[in-house]
Chain A
Amino acid sequence: MSEQEIMALLREAFAKESKGNLTVALERGRKLTDLGFDSMSALSVAAYVEDRLGVTFADAALSHVASIGDFVDMVQSALKEAS
């Protein structure tokens, strides 16, 4: 799965979590807190992505996600492990 595809999925997940109120572009360097998301929101987004991709993120990895880039890296890592 390409990084663009992962980003598109994350956009979908964050848009759902924000109930359609996501107005800021998702970029690698963007911090979750700058987007108005807290750690519980990140869990919710992670659950959406896990469900869509059939992967499971480790709790340790999840709790260290602070930016969109961290999220992308975590997804790539999980996909690599699952393959």
Chain B
Amino acid sequence: MSAPLSLKEKTYRAYMEFFETSERKRRWNPFNDVPWDGLTRFENTDDDAICAETFCGVELYVPDYTANGFNLTRPIFGHAWFQASWGFEESRHAVTFREYLVRSGLRSPEQYQAFEDAILSKTWSLPFATRRQISCYGALQEAATYLIYRAQRENAHERGHELLERLYFFISRDEAAHMGFYRTVLKFELAEDRPGTLSDLAHVIKYFEMPGVKLVPEFERRIQVKGVALSSKYFLEHGVLATLKAIGVTRVELLRALRLDGNESSRSDAATGAATI
């Protein structure tokens, strides 16, 4: 699957900027930079455990995310290498959540291992088929993740839980950088093929679902805990509409593309129905 030279060049530059910034300003060490020594001074609650465990569960699918991502992005150096950096950073998040769960005593090593085994007994598959659609998905999914972790950091700050505040500061900052890269890539895609990109964006928004929904055990129970997920209203305003604004797409453009996508789906359903009669 080839890509236009201009897209390759722009994505290469965007990746180098992302990488340089991450090296200079965003590298953090989960063992030295999170103040673990003071962990037991703070109140570590069951809700903290459910949040961290759920987030850890989603992050643990990094091998699937990166394997599938590499297959799609390989023709574009900048995007493929972003995938590699992204995978490393997300794996660091999983390790950090694991450290928190076990060091706090909220989960024994055996309980954590059982959870990890349950997670890894499933595999994550691409929710969408093309690199551009996955970029649309990534922009929204990283926005949602950033918003969730930012809310956790604010909550920790209000409670005076310095360790969780620090932990979620580092992790949310990474997610903001990921979100930024995907938004940049979408701007490039819009410049190359605006109608096609709008069509993909509409399709992804229509069928968007966070990865944890089908993969993390007892997800329905977990999202009852405040902070595990976002309300649809909050995600609409701060995720979807904020993304549109960031990439220069109006609501009217999106709605037009959504209507067209709805017509395409109906035609596809009708064709399928005819084929099975």
- List, in ascending order, chain A residues with CB within 8 A of B237's CB: 59-60, 62-64
- List, in ascending order, chain B residues with CB within 8 A of A39's CB: 232-233, 236
- List, in ascending order, chain A residues with CB within 8 A of B259's CB: 44
Asked if B274 is at the interface of the complex by the 8 Å CB criterion, the answer is no
Determine which of A38, A62, A63, A66 lies in contact with B234 in the assembled complex, contact meaning CB atoms within 8 Å.
A63
**Chain A, range 31-77, C-beta contacts under 8 Å to B:** 38-40, 43-44, 46-47, 59-60, 62-64, 66
> Is the CB–CB distance between B205 and A40 below 8 Å?
yes
B237-267 toward A: CB 8 Å interface, digit per residue (1/0)? 1000110010000011011001100000000
Determine which of B242, B245, B258 lies in contact with A40 in the assembled complex, contact meaning CB atoms within 8 Å.
B258
Given A47-B251, A63-B236, A64-B233: A40 in contact with B241 (beta carbons within 8 A):
no
Determine which of A44, A46, A59, A64 lies in contact with B258 in the assembled complex, contact meaning CB atoms within 8 Å.
A44
- List, in ascending order, chain B residues with CB within 8 A of A60's CB: 237
Rounded to whole angstroms, the CA-CA distance of A59 and B251 in the bound complex is: 9
> Is the CB–CB distance between A43 and B255 below 8 Å?
yes
- List, in ascending order, chain A residues with CB within 8 A of B159's CB: none
Rounded to whole angstroms, the CA-CA distance of A40 and B259 in the bound complex is: 11
- List, in ascending order, chain B residues with CB within 8 A of A44's CB: 255, 258-259
Asked if B214 is at the interface of the complex by the 8 Å CB criterion, the answer is no
Asked if B173 is at the interface of the complex by the 8 Å CB criterion, the answer is no
Asked if B122 is at the interface of the complex by the 8 Å CB criterion, the answer is no
> Is the CB–CB distance between B255 and A47 below 8 Å?
yes
Give the size category of A's interface with B: 10 to 19
Asked if B13 is at the interface of the complex by the 8 Å CB criterion, the answer is no
Instruction: With CB as the reference atom, state the residue of chain B lying closest to A19.
Output: B262
Rounded to whole angstroms, the CA-CA distance of A62 and B236 in the bound complex is: 9
Instruction: With CB as the reference atom, state the residue of chain A lying closest to B206.
Output: A40
A18 to chain B, nearest CB (A): 13
- List, in ascending order, chain A residues with CB within 8 A of B251's CB: 43, 46-47
Rounded to whole angstroms, the CA-CA distance of A54 and B79 in the bound complex is: 41
Determine which of B233, B252, B258 lies in contact with A63 in the assembled complex, contact meaning CB atoms within 8 Å.
B233
A54 to chain B, nearest CB (A): 13
> Is the CB–CB distance between B245 and A47 below 8 Å?
no
Rounded to whole angstroms, the CA-CA distance of A66 and B251 in the bound complex is: 18
Rounded to whole angstroms, the CA-CA distance of A62 and B255 in the bound complex is: 14
Instruction: With CB as the reference atom, state the residue of chain A lying closest to B233.
Output: A63
Rounded to whole angstroms, the CA-CA distance of A46 and B233 in the bound complex is: 15
Rounded to whole angstroms, the CA-CA distance of A60 and B205 in the bound complex is: 18
Rounded to whole angstroms, the CA-CA distance of A60 and B240 in the bound complex is: 12
A45 to chain B, nearest CB (A): 10
B contact set with A: CB distance below 8 Å: 205-206, 232-234, 236-237, 241-242, 245, 251-252, 254-255, 258-259
A selection of 22 A-B contacts at a CB cut-off of 8 Å is A39-B233, A40-B205, A40-B206, A40-B258, A43-B254, A44-B255, A44-B258, A44-B259, A46-B251, A47-B252, A47-B255, A59-B242, A59-B245, A60-B237, A62-B236, A62-B237, A63-B233, A63-B234, A63-B237, A63-B241, A64-B237, A66-B233
Beyond A39-B236, A43-B255, list 8 extra A-B contacts (CB 8 Å): A38-B232, A39-B233, A40-B205, A44-B258, A59-B242, A59-B245, A63-B234, A66-B233
In the A-B complex, the 9 residue pairs with the closest CB atoms = A63-B237, A59-B241, A63-B236, A39-B236, A63-B233, A47-B255, A44-B255, A47-B252, A59-B237
